Every structure is written in structure tokens, then in C-alpha cells.
Amino acid sequence: MSGPTSVRGSVAKWALNIYALLALIYLFIPIAWIVGFSFNNPRGNYNVQWQEFTLANWREPFGDEALTNAFVESLRIAAISTAVATVIGSLMAIALARYRFRGSGTLNFLIVLPLTTPEIVLGSSLATLFLDWDVTRGFTTVVIAHIMFQVSFVALTVRARVRGFDWTLEQAAQDLGASPVRTFWKVTFPLILPGILAAALLSFALSLDDFIITLFNAGSLNTFPLYINGSFRVRFPPQVNVLASAVLLISVALMIGGMMIGSRRKKSS
Amino acid sequence: MTAVSTQDAPERVRRPELVGLAALAGAGVLLAAVGARWFTGPLAVVALALVLAAIIWLVFTAVAGGPEARRRIAPYGLLKPGTLWLALFYLAPLVTLLRLSLSTLPSRFAVEAEFSWEFQNYVDAFTDFGPQFQRAFLYAAVATVLTIAIGYPLAYVIAFRGGRYRSLLLGLVVVPFFTSYLIRTIAWRSLLNDNGEIVRFLDAVRLSGLFESIGIMDNGRILQTPVAVIGGLTYNFLPFMILPIYVSLEKVDPRLVDAAQDLYSTSTAAFRRVVLPLSMPGVFAGTLLTFIPAAGDFVNAFYLGSPSTTMIGNSIQDQFLVQNNVPLASAMSFVLMAIITVLVLIYSKYFGTEDLS
Amino acid sequence: MKRSIRPRAVELSRRQFLIRSGVLGAAGLTAPQLLAACGGDDDDTSAPSPTDAPSGSSPSAGGGGDTLFFENWPAYIDPTEDGLTGTVDRFMDATGIDMRYSEAFNDNVEYFAKIQPVLGRGDTIEPDLIAPTSWMVGRLISLGWLDTLPIDQVPNAVNLRDDLVNPAWDPTGEFSLPWQTGFAGIAYNLDVTGRELTSVDDLWDPEFAGKIGALTEMRDTIGVILLSMGVDISTLETFEQAAPAFEKLEQAKADGQIRRFHGNDYFDDLSNGNFAATIGWSGDVAQIQLDNPAVRFLFPESGATSWADAMVMPKGAVNRDAAAAWMDFAYDPVQAAQITAWVQYVSPVKGVREEVEKIDPELADNPLIFPDEATLAATRSFATLSEDVEAEFDAAFSRIIGA
């Protein structure tokens, strides 16, 4: 940094830093509540008033059977939809980033559209489609819905990641006699894999947490968010907090892991 | 992208990219049409056969053509599965939504609506739900402004003063959003209770009188007021503002800022003339990513609001899933999408960048 | 999980002891069953929770195999917890029939919206038994979406209270068997109001602005308000007769008096003080008092509405024999008394009072559970409206409460 900083300037600088710190604290207020109340021993059906500290909820994270079933259902949905969406979304991303072709503008637009449509429109329109087809809404329709918004998300995320990719490497490999298929698996794929994995993780999280689109297309199926919404009328067991905190911990662990691998790579290269 | 040489490889297929484009577009449109049930019965079978034919045609052209033809046709092949998925499960539903929005229920508890050019649904959507539309856009707009006010300084500090802790700090911004959206909102509901921690704190530090007078509190409560709903929206969509702003700020060369400070003498001017314009694409993207979902949201208004703070999302949800008036709900959905599209187009025209991602 | 001692458990232990000794004696359980029942007390987490929402992932509708599935309202049965063996578990122990019990009802309209797309298309829904409110039973009968009950397999059905035989909503009595009946009045939190409430008009006190609730059940909310205006709700014929109550409610909403319209989900708001008062159901208050003793129920002098929720079998329900066994069990006065002692509503079963007296003599004298002449004289049930008029009422009400 250059230039003399006046007293006023440094006060302003610190004021800004403190403001940012407060903003960061604000982000964590409900998180503190969620994690804190996972250690609460509630008196009634609602885990919303602090009573006393207990580890019992963490000892029995799956102590609430219906909640656990819903959670498992959510994991199944997220696993299937993420697998499908990652494959077809990544293919789209490669096509968009790798080639220059007629119609790419329109296709770009088509991919962006679902992300700029409010979730309630996506959810209700899909529900009208299934109504129109006379299809009973349930597990399959939810998976279909999730794949729909994940495809766009994966395509855009992976495209952003592979944009800087040096495609002449492919050319070089082929000039050296590698077949296009071999080139893809040996050269291209390893290089774009981190981008694909990151997109897959994020879209897994999106699926796990989706409420609005799922609500319209679930029928009698219960996912983790749907169960929380439905049961909140009668009960809010501490296991909700435990599972939410656990998801948080796992995500943070994955993120830190990713960061460490990333920084090691940077150093080695 | 790299330019591909066109001289080598004999041209066995003419204009392979046209084959690819035609096969892709044709299959997409046909599938969407079948999905929306424009074609039914035997016609639908024919249409599906044509979709299949288009796929085979694409594959055949790729196999028959040389490496050059394959290269030119490749993007269409790669795009095919995703495009067809979106055609069937994004485009076709919108057509169905439009058709249902112009339908009527033949009787009060009927399950299937009949198409009848029923424009009355749109009239009802506006006349009966005007306040909900207004609130949705008002709350979303205020929440968007608040996310900028909170998110921009945070993104700025992380980008320019984070040093080697930048990615850690950015991680901290994202971490809260790995917990469920619903549970976060329920957490606020619990925190904002009339006898909850926040109201008690405000009472203790004697701020409730002040808050009451400026309208943040209402008869000793925050929960189930517009303030709570807007607060919830602001909180829940904050990362969608912070991340794009951060990405655009990160690209700004610090040396440029130094130079600007030398040039304009005050750091405020340097910020206004150099950093701010360069970060506008981030603000633009963040605004869209915040405003659009916020305008269609009903979770915050449901958990944190009252009957006088319902947003259009609540109404659509209620009409669709509780009142079972699917035609009216469809009309409302369609209007919501139309208004948002128009707003986005206007906004893009004045502030836009060509790239949303 | 093991819970430490809490007021609720203390409060229960006395009642629970009486209940268990009474039940075991009366039901004549054999020793192994007795052991099983006692064993169940210790692992109260593995015992089926009464509150599992439907989690069926199978798209195929229709009750699963031979598990009886009953969808009911929340806090509407004695649960298995804190050393108490609930009716569902006692039933399973006594009959060997597997049963799934869920609290899926929150509001009749909302529940109807869930089943309408399925039943309306001629498919079957999962539960074998559901318990909508009487007017909704009438609607389901007229839509042809119910099967007749296997009443001939329910000998205890003779215990049905005389005033509920062949009721207006089910004139032949072959489609429904009441689960519980009760009143809607004012539920309030004394800590927030700071005074005992005396009339429905207290709801409109500006002091409680933004702290008042009301039920999404039109017949109870509008009914209680109409009664406070001196209108007899049992003889309503046109919308105009009820219009003043709709205007009152709309005005209260516009003034910001109403905080939230709710179904059966108001326990939390009332007990933690977000509601000063709300229109609520008599028995619920007994449940809320376990969490917060400051919650009270006011039976308005102007009158309370009376209602009935009835067990019905949706079209195509498969477990008819098991359902009959369950209804027979629930209509045994000894069993019904356990439910009454817990839910504190008015039981539709004759002979319950005598059984309740053995459990808790105080309860037997509670006019909200065993209404006396004066109480009955002050209650009205909502008139059965003609199809068109009902549509008008529904539209007006959903416009006020609807989002």
C-alpha cells in the first residue's frame, strides 16, 4: 500500500473492518442457535426454549425414526440426481467451453434460464406437467425435478472452471498419436475433474436442502426439509439440530479438505 | 477457443454442424411438444420416433464423417442429453403451466381442469392478489438493497484486506449456508420470539423504545412483522450477493487501486472511480441472484410473517397445494415469471453485462 | 432418550400408575403381555412414536400389507412415553395387529387438498383410517370417496353416545364413527394478557395488537365470533347472516390485530407468549398446560362451538378387519377412558365417565370433558350448509386467511 494514511483514513479503515466483522458475526447467529440447541434437553415437543445441557441428542442422532427416514430419503434423492446431473451437466459444460458452434448463444440462454426462474415457478410448472400426465408425484418426480435445476447449475459451474483450460493440450496429445478417447481420459478429464467434483458437491448440497420445488412434486413423499416443515406444526425434536449440525460439520470438513488439496497443488506446480 | 483447421480430412458429410444443430433443435422442440401434450396418441408416437431418429442421425453422421466432421458435430452430441432434459422438464412444464392458467375446473372438487381460454384467472390473479404481488417485489427489493449494504463491505474487506486468509474468510461466509435453509429460518423465528433472546436483549439495553418509534418493533415484537420477513430474506440470500461481488473484486488489480489513490488523492474517490465500476458486474449478478429467488419465496413470509405480510409465493403455494385451485395458481405463477422477466430485461439493459454466470 | 425428571413426568407418574393398574386389571392381560407392556416402558425410543408423519416412498398407494395405518390430528391420543403405554401400543399388544399411527392432520382443507388429487382420480391413499371433522366427512360421503365401515365387526359400537347416532353429516351412520368431540373457545396465556379474559371481545383489545390468533377452521373461528354477536350458528342458511363475523375478522386482520391463522399448530406460539390469546380447542389447552401452566381456556359466556371428528375409511382401504378391531378397541370404555384422561376432550363413548372416575375423580367433574346441562345449552354446532352457500363461505374465509 502506498500513500500516507491520515488519522481519518485509518479510523475509516478500522470502521470498515469492524463493520465486516459484524456482518460475519450476523451470518453465524442462527448457526450458533442451531448448534447450541442440539445440546438442549427440551421439555415439551418443541426444542426452542433452553432448558439444560445434554449430550443425549448427539448420542442418538437417529433417535427420531421418522426424521431419520426422511433424511435417508433425501440422501438417496441427492445421490441419484447428483450423479445424473453431474454427467449430463458436465457434458454440456465441455461442449460450451471447448467448441465454438452455431446455436451456442441460444443453448447458453436455455441453460441460464432455470436459474433465473423463481423456484416456485419451476416447482409449480413441473407439478402441472405431472398432473397433466396423470403421474402420481413421489420419489421419481422429485429426482426428475432435482436433476432439472442441477443440470443448469453443474453446466454453468463446470464451464466457469474449465474456461481457463488450455485445449491445445488435447491437440498436442493427439499429435503424439493418442486417440481422441484416450486423450480425453488421460489428459482432459484429470484436469477438469476438480471442477466437476466441486460442482457435484455443491449440487448435492442444493438437492439435500431443496424445499420449494420438492414441496410441489413430492406427493406423500417426505424428505428432510419437507419433514421439518410438516412436523414443525407439532414438534421440533433436537435431532433436527443434530443432523443439521452434522451436515454442517461434514461440509466444512470437505471444504477444508478441498482447500488443502488445492493449496498443495498450487505449491507443487 | 482454439481455431480448428478445416483443410484436412475429406468432407464426406456436408455441413456436419448443420446436421448437429438440426438434430438437436428438432429433437428438443419435438420432445417439449410431446411433453406439453401438443401431440397426443399416435402423433406423439410419431414425434417420439422422430426424436429417436434425430439422435440416430446425429450418431450416424458422426460415425460416417471423418475426424473433422466429428469434431464439428461433437458439441451437439455432448449437449444433447442435457438439452433434451431441459426441453422436457423445463420448457414443456412452462407450456403446461400456461395452458392450465387458461383452464377452468368443471366443478368445485374436480381434479382435472379443462382448457377454455379462461382469462378470468389472470384478472383474479391481479385483482385478488395485488397486495401480495406488491409486497413480494417490495420486500425482495428492500432485501436486495440490504444484502448489498451488508455484503459489499464484507466482500471488499475480504478481497482487499484478507491477505492470505482470503479463502478462509470466504469459506466462513459460505459455511452457514451448509445448514438447511428451513432450519436457519426456524432459528430466526425462535431467536426473534416475543420472549426470545433478541427482544430480551433489546429490552435490556433499552433499545426497544427507539426501535418501536422507528417502526422496527411493533407492540414489543419483531417476529411476524414485515421487518422479520425482510430480515429473513436478507439473511438467507446474503451469500448470493457476497460471492459474485467478491469474485469481481478479486479480479481488480491492487496496483490499479494504488495508482488510482495516487491519481485521485482520496481513497473514497479512488474507490468510486475505479473499484466500484469494476465490481459492478458482481453487484449486477448478485442482485439477480438475490432478487429473483426472494421475490418468489414463501418460506420467510410463512415462518416469520403474519397474514398481513404474505407474499405472492405464499398465495401461489396456498392456491396450488391447499385450495387446489391449480388454474388460478398457474396464472399467478405465470404472471410472477412474466413480471420478473420484464424487470430482469429492463435491469440488464441499463446495468447489464452479457454474462450471467 | 432418557429424559431427566420434568414437571410433566412428575405430573404423570400418579396418573400413570392409576392408569396402568386400571388398564391391566380391566383388560385382563396375560402375564407375557404384561411383561411386554412393562418392558416397553424402558426403551421409549424404540417404541413407535405416535408422531411419525407418512414416510412411504413407494409411489404405489394403498395401505401397506397388514399394517393398519391411521392418520389423525396431533395430541389426540395418549402416547407411549415416560413410562406410560399408549393406546396404540396397548392395542398392538392385545391383538397382535401391527399399527402405524401418524399425526398428519393440521387442518381439514389442507388435508383434503392432499388426498383430493389421489381419491379424485379413483386411486387409493395410504391410510386405512382418517379422522376428518364432521362437515368434511359429509363432503367425502357426497363425493363418494369413502367406504362403509365394517360396523358389524365392531360390537362396541353400541357404546356410541345417543346424540351421535345417525348424525346430520352421516344420516345412515354407516360411513363414520366419531373419534372425539369437543368445543372451540378462547385459549389464552395469562402471563401475556396479565388478566383473566372474560369474553370473545377481549380478542379485539388493542392492547393485544399483533398477539391474537385464530383457527383456519372456518366453522370454529367464524362460529365463535358469530355466537359473540348473538347469532345462532346452528340455523344459518345464507352468507348474509354470517357476514358481520367475516367483516369483523377482516377488519381485525387489516388492523394488524391478528398475528397468524393456524390449524392445530398453535401450541408453541401460545405457550411461549407469541400469542396472548387465540381461538382454540378445549382439549389442546390441557396439553399446552403441561408445558406452560399459565395457559387457560375460556368457555365464552356467549357460547362455544361444538364439533366432532370421526373415523372414516377412504375408498379402497385394505385393512378392514384390522380397522374394525381398532375401532372396537377404542370404543371399549376402559380404553376410551385412557384416551380421554390424556386428550381431555368429550368422548363419544358411553360409560367413559365411570372409568375416568377411577383414574382421576377431578377429571370426571370437568364440564369441558363431561359437559353438564348448562354447558351443553351454551354450545352450538355449525349448521350444515347447502353446497352453494358453503362454497360462498369457503371463498370468503379463504380470502381472509389465505395467503
pLDDT band at C2 (very low <50, low <70, confident <90, very high): very low
Q: How many C-beta atoms lie closer than 10 Å to residue C66's C-beta? A: 11
Nearest CA in chain C to A238: C1
Residue pLDDT, tens place only, C149-191: 999 999 999 999 999 999 999 999 999 999 999 999 999 999 9
- Please name the member of B83, B85, B181 whose beta carbon is closest to the beta carbon of A209: B181
pLDDT-derived band of residue C281, with 50, 70 and 90 as boundaries?
Answer: very high
More confident position, C251 or A176: C251
pLDDT category of residue A86 using cuts at 50, 70 and 90 = very high
Give the model's pLDDT for residue C60.
36
CA–CA dist A239, A41 (Å, integer): 11
Query: Chains B and C: how many Cβ contacts under 8 Å?
Result: 79
For chains A and C, count residue pairs whose Cβ atoms are closer than 8 Å. 89
Backbone angles phi, psi at A255, to 5 degrees: -65, -45
Q: Which residue of C has its CA nearest to B307?
A: C260
Q: What is the mean pLDDT of residues C50-78?
A: 63
Residue range A220-237, pLDDT digits in tens: 899 999 999 988 877 788
Cell matching residue C287: 396439553
Please state, in angstroms and rounded to a whole number, the distance separating the CA atoms of residues C266 and C221: 14
The total of other beta-carbon atoms located within 10 Å of residue B307's CB is 20
- C-alpha cell, B287: 442482485
| Residue B62, pLDDT above cutoff 90 | no
C-alpha cell at C39: 418392558
- Residue A170 pLDDT: 81
Sheet containing strand C129-130, strands side by side: C99-102, C68-71, C129-130
Q: What pLDDT does A1 receive?
A: 43
Reported as a pLDDT band with limits 50, 70 and 90, residue C38 is: very low
- Number of Cβ within a 10 Å radius of residue A46: 19
CB contact under 8 A, C272 and B306: no
All residues at 6 or more sequence positions from A72 whose CB lies less than 8 Å from its CB, including other chains: none
Residue with the three cell numbers 400408575: C17
pLDDT band at B12 (very low <50, low <70, confident <90, very high): low
CB contact under 8 A, B320 and A216: yes
Q: Cell numbers of B250, please?
A: 478479486
Residue in this structure with the C-alpha cell 446455436, named with its chain if needed? A103
In this complex, the residue of C55, C58, C268 whose CB is nearest that of residue A70 is: C55
User: Residue C19: which pLDDT band, with cuts at 50, 70 and 90?
Assistant: very low
Average of pLDDT values for B58-79? 85
Contact B75 A98 (CB under 8 A): yes
Our measurement of the distance from residue C9's CA atom to the centroid of its chain's CA atoms, rounded to an integer in Å, reads 23
- Considering only CB atoms, which chain B residues are within 8 Å of A34? 179, 183-184, 187
- Residue A179 pLDDT grade (very low, low, confident, very high; cuts 50, 70, 90): confident
Residues in contact with A210: Cβ distance below 8 Å, sequence separation at least 6, in sequence order: A119, A146, A149, A225
For the stretch C57-61, contacts whose Cβ atoms lie closer than 8 Å and that sit 24 or more positions apart, written own/partner, are: C57/A73, C57/A138, C57/A139, C57/A221, C58/A138, C59/A136, C59/A138, C59/A139, C59/A140, C59/A219, C61/A136, C61/A220, C61/C118, C61/C123, C61/C124, C61/C125, C61/C126
Q: Give the integer Cα–Cα distance in Å for B92 and A215.
A: 20
C-alpha–C-alpha distance, residues C245 and C258, integer Å:
14
Contact between chains at A2 and B261 (C-beta distance less than 8 A): yes
- For residue A165, is pLDDT > 80? no
Of C116, C211, C273, the CB nearest to B324: C116
From residue A178, alpha-carbon distances to A170, B29, C96 in Å are 9, 37, 69
Chains that touch A (3 or more CB pairs under 8 A): B, C
Span B149-155, average pLDDT: 96
More reliable by pLDDT, C50 or C226: C226
In this predicted structure, the answer to whether residue C26 has a pLDDT above a threshold of 60 is no
Of B139-153, B268-282, C313-327, the least confident: B268-282
The predicted pLDDT at position A168 comes to: 82
Is a pLDDT exceeding 90 seen at residue C5?
no
Task: Give pLDDT tens digits for B222-278.
Answer: 999 999 999 999 999 999 999 999 999 988 888 888 888 788 767 788 888 888 999
Contact A151 B82 (CB under 8 A): yes
Band of residue B352 on the pLDDT scale cut at 50, 70, 90: low
> In angstroms, what separates the C-alpha of C253 from chain B's closest C-alpha?
7
Contact C260 B306 (CB under 8 A): yes
Return left, alpha or beta for A249; rule: phi > 0 is left, psi -120 to 50 is alpha, else beta.
alpha
Those chains having 3 or more beta-carbon pairs within 8 angstroms of chain C are A, B
pLDDT at residue B148 tops 60: yes
* pLDDT classification of B206: cutoffs 50, 70, 90: confident
Residues of chain B found within 8 Å of residue A167, distances taken between Cβ atoms: 1-2
Test C273 with B223 for CB contact under 8 angstroms. no
CB contact under 8 A, A234 and C74: yes
C389 inside 8 A of chain B by CB: no
- Please calculate the CA angle C358-C364-C368 and round it to the nearest 5 degrees: 150
This prediction's pTM: 0.87
B42-64 and B67-86 helices cross at what angle (nearest 10)?
A: 150
Cβ of C403 and B324 within 8 Å? no
Whether C44 contacts C82, CB under 8 Å: yes
Range name among B13-22, B86-95, C243-252, C256-265 with the lowest pLDDT average? B13-22
Task: Return d(Cα B254, Cα B274) in angstroms, integer.
Answer: 11
pLDDT in tens, A198-221: 899 989 999 999 999 999 999 889
State yes or no: pLDDT of C46 exceeds 80: no
User: Does pLDDT of B312 surpass 50?
Assistant: yes
Of the candidates B67, B97, B356, the beta carbon closest to that of A125 is on: B97
pLDDT at C49 over 60: no
Residue A227 sits at the chain C interface (C-beta within 8 Å)? yes
Longest pairwise C-alpha distance within chain B: 84
B329: nearest CA partner in chain C: C403
Q: What is the pLDDT of residues B284-299, one digit of tens each?
A: 999 999 999 999 999 9
Task: Kindly tell me the burial class for residue A238, based on how many C-beta atoms sit within 10 Å of its own C-beta (0-12, 13-18, 19 or more).
Answer: buried
Size of interface A-B (CB pairs under 8 A): 260
The span from the CA of B266 to the CA of B249, in Å, is: 19
Helix (H, G, I), strand (E, B) or coil at B184: helix
Q: Which cell goes with A159? A: 464451464
How confident is residue B92, by pLDDT bands cut at 50, 70 and 90? very high
pLDDT digits (tens, 9 = 90+) for A25-60: 999 999 999 999 999 988 777 787 788 899 999 998
Provide, rounded to the nearest whole percent, the portion of chain A with pLDDT above 90.
51
Q: What number is the ipTM of this complex?
A: 0.90
Which has more confidence, C199 or A260? Answer: C199
pLDDT at C61: 37
Segment among B91-105, B262-276, B333-347, C70-84 with least mean pLDDT: B262-276
pLDDT exceeds cutoff 70 at B136: yes
Average pLDDT score, chain C: 84
Q: Measured between alpha carbons, how far is B166 from B246 in angstroms, rounded to an integer?
A: 10
